[in-house]
Amino acid sequence: MAISPFEERYRTEMNSVFDDETKLRKWMVVEVALAKAHAALNHIPKGAPAAIESAAKNVKHGRVIEIESQIHHDLMAMVKALTEQAGDAGKYVHLGATSYDIEDTATALIFIEGIELLEKRLGTLASALKRLALAHKGTVCIGRTHGQHAVPTTYGMKFALYYQELKRNLDRLAGAKSRISVGKMSGAVGTMATFGKDGPAMQNLVMKELGLGEDPVTNQVVQRDRHAEVICAIAITGALLEKIAKEIRNLQRSEMCEISEPFSAKQVGSSTMPQKRNPHKSERVCSLARLLRGNVLTALENIALEHERDLTNSANERAIFGESFICLDYMTIEITKILDGLVFYPENIKRDLELTNGLVMSERIMIFLVESGRLGRQEAHEAVRLLAQEAFAKKRHMKDLVLERKLLTKKEADELFDYSTYTGQAKKIVEDAVKG
């Protein structure tokens, strides 16, 4: 029975990138690259790398687990299992390397694959946001600041905002990928002592074979700022998905119901209240974002290892690396589905625009009074402020009070209280934001 929800409930394609079988195969890919470098430098027979590479295909994960249960060292268990299969070439497996020459270099390969899957997934989300931004660039709705009605905006603006933030998150992931795409072949404390004068050439050959950059200086491990940056970038991206999901949740509240996540015909909202249409998919995204942020703290703690390294990073990385990638992958899939099926309620959007009886057009009235030369800026602000307070207290429409005080003509009032004409450059902002 699965313990982690990421094994079944939130499982995605990302699981196969981080599972133990994949890790084992990546370890052996690095071992083969090491053997090839040794052969190129005439340290071992030319045929040994091919024999080791062939042997790697026959190593069973179960056998590695069996050996580990006896020796209590996972990497060395792989070395022994590979040696068993390699015949005479087995004597050259892992020659001169320390465990984390293999593990950290393999981790870079795994991270690259994981980030590339996230980039693909987030690209699909970007397309959904772009589509919604353009489709709703003219869908006027009330803007809210501090939880209060502000002035009109458009739904297109919301989605364009998310689109631009997603682009920045993709940039962050790309930057983090460039800095995690390095490996090491520098030995127990980073001095390359086991490789002698050929150390730099050895590392260079291995990394070229694997398509990685060389970490210019290490101790026993690749430094954890690189990994922490990736986990941070993942968490920041998760925070955007939470932002989108939270907006949907809030706008789906019964008293607003301007939009809602899709709700299927057979879906159950509550075990006791049959009427409920809970935004549980959006709530799940918000919940998982908290998990991502928690993993950031652990990743940051791992940076300050003692001396040339200690093992305090190892156990938690088995959890936070795969979990963070799988979590964000799942969240991205879910929020994309939500957006693809998002339901709009135009009558409620229009109702909420009028909810405050025209008070949200106070800014526009103030600006008009100034631009028309009738009042100075501060005088106009105070006059409109007092009228707004009166309209609120007496539950009267702001337009009626403005006309009673003869601050505007009927024609001017009709124009100024047209919500659809007070969205400024929203359409252009949206179009420019999603170009390219």
Q: So which residues are the catalytic ones?
A: 146, 270
| Distances in whole angstroms, Cα of residue 404 to Cα of each of 391, 400, 416 | 12, 6, 16
Closest residue by Cα to residue 329 from 128, 186, 117, 145: 117
**Tokens matching residue 346:** 């135009």
Our measurement of the distance from residue 374's CA atom to the centroid of its chain's CA atoms, rounded to an integer in Å, reads: 51
The three-class DSSP label of residue 49 is: helix
- Start-to-end CA span in the chain (Å): 47
Q: Calculate ∠ Cα 221-225-231, nearest 5°.
A: 110
The answer to whether 36 and 208 are in contact (CB under 8 A) is no
In this structure, the number of other CB atoms found within 10 A of the CB of residue 375 comes to 17
Burial of 396 (0-12, 13-18, 19+ CB in 10 A): middle
Distance CA 281, CA 279 (A): 6
Residue 116's CB: how many other CB atoms inside 10 A?
Answer: 13
Q: DSSP labels for 65-83?
A: HHHHHHH--HHHHHHHHHH
β-pair partners for 214: 183
Tokens matching residue 191: 């001095």
